[in-house]
Amino acid sequence: MPNTAPIRVALAGDHSLNLHALAILLQQQGAFHIVSISRDVCQLRDNLMLAGKERYPHIVLLDINFDLYRAAGIVSFLSGSHPGIRIAALGLTKDRRAILRLERMGVHGYIAKNSDPSEMENMLKRLSVKTGDSVEQNLEGSDVETGVGPDLSAAEEWHSVTPMERRYFRLAMSEASDEEIRRVMRVPQCEFGRFVARIYRQFGVRSSHGLVLALYRNRLMVLDDI
């Protein structure tokens, strides 16, 4: 009988708001337990030390935006010091050459951010069975390949989004406060307040943290040209 203990996942990336939203999304799926969230390789090293070998993550999931240098440092550290931990990446690009570069760095699986969350879940489950740990998951019937997910397009989801909303989404993902975003967008305070309130109502959220989570759920977190 398979062990259904949650797959331990450590998150690492540049933006803590994105990482916390991703943590909520994964833990709501039930198959995963988020053991740590790290902004850089030093914090990840400390988190692993605090966890102890028995509580090491099965997978480290990197949220890659543009800073491949920082991601390369984390991959190099894990490959050298913790080769049993699998490395997955969630990124903006669908460029096969860029994905191959990540694979050469030592990343074991990659999926685009505008893929369906279920595809990320299946990729992480597939990677978990290769950790050598006792965690086992029933993956029968899954048609998602390890590594690159299908080339999905978020075009339909973006048809109803205005350029102003799209810009706000991008800035919200960068962890800027609403006041900082308002200044960048050069929108009067009263107009901006109505604008944000309408977006929050549209997604059924009450904060920027909830909005980021909703963007992940609705596959609206990125555009190919972001």
Query: CA torsion 54→56→59→62, rounded to 10°?
Result: 170
pLDDT at 77 over 70: yes
Region for 222 from its dihedrals, namely left if φ exceeds 0, alpha if ψ lies in -120 to 50, beta otherwise: beta
pLDDT at 196 over 80: yes
| Rg of the Cα atoms in the chain | 18
What's the pLDDT at 105?
85
Residue with tokens 């090293």: 45
Report residue 84: phi and psi, to 5°: -80, -15
pLDDT confidence of 219, banded at 50, 70, 90? low
Rounded Cα–Cα distance for residues 156 and 153 (Å): 8
State CA 177 to chain mean position distance.
20
Output 2 or 226, whichever has higher pLDDT: 2
Query: Within 13 Å of residue 119, how many CA atoms lie on the same side as its CB?
Result: 23
User: Residues 131-180: pLDDT tens digits?
Assistant: 544 333 322 333 323 333 323 234 344 456 788 888 888 788 776 788 88
pLDDT confidence of 208, banded at 50, 70, 90? confident
Q: Where is average pLDDT lowest: 39-43, 68-72, 193-197?
A: 68-72
Q: Where is average pLDDT lowest: 88-97, 182-191, 216-225?
A: 216-225
